[in-house]
A and B are shown apart, each in its own frame.
Chain A
Amino acid sequence: MLNLRFMIKVLALSFSALSILISSIAQGHHSFEMFDRDNPIQITGEIKEFQWVNPHTWIQIMVNEPATGELVEWSIEGRSPNVLVRRGWTRNTVQPGEQVTLTIYPLRNGDPGGAIITIEKADGSIINADTPTAVDTDEEGPR
């Protein structure tokens, strides 16, 4: 079981917040149906690589499997640089060697991968990685 292998916590997100996340992530380059968006999880580990590339950014993160002590590399898919840069990100927002906790929608097939929601850094700060895409108009008033 995924949650036994990695001591993953199921998040208690409200239905409304989840709906917003789902609706925003549904846009884009390909279907996101392979992610289990009903059961977000958390993984903790060290960033191996942050790929600042289109059509999706990728975080490669080494996660310790408590049951075996084995380090497993997870591939976490994120929004494109074009979306993130308009929300204040740069290619250095996430750096190799950082210890972070990622909240993700895991892959349904159980492989070590998922789609990112938030990043919690070592200092406790949390970055919303599932930022609204350019379709959102919240910054423009009551549209």
Chain B
Amino acid sequence: MASALINVPAKAKRGEIIAIKTLISHPMETGFRHTETGVPIPRDIVTRFVATYNGEEIFSAQLYPAIAANPFITFSTVATESGTFEFKWTGDNGFAATEQAKIIVE
């Protein structure tokens, strides 16, 4: 059950710079921890985040174990046209999650 919280303004003016906030549920197990009996806990992190705006990539990031659990990423983009944002997270053990948000640009 990977849930995500997205903060994208519902409406914006053409040319306005908007901030997009994303938060995805993921433990981001670093791979550096071990159990009380000394057994290492394997790494399990989100490794890549890609944001597209009407199909075109506007932002991407490579994540490492140093990103806190439940990765929170904020970035900005210029509101050019109405349409859909798509956010994709991929990571270890075949992790993949996608979320969408719509925007009306006037």
Is B one of A's binding partners? no
Residues of B within 8 A of A (CB): none
Residues of A within 8 A of B (CB): none
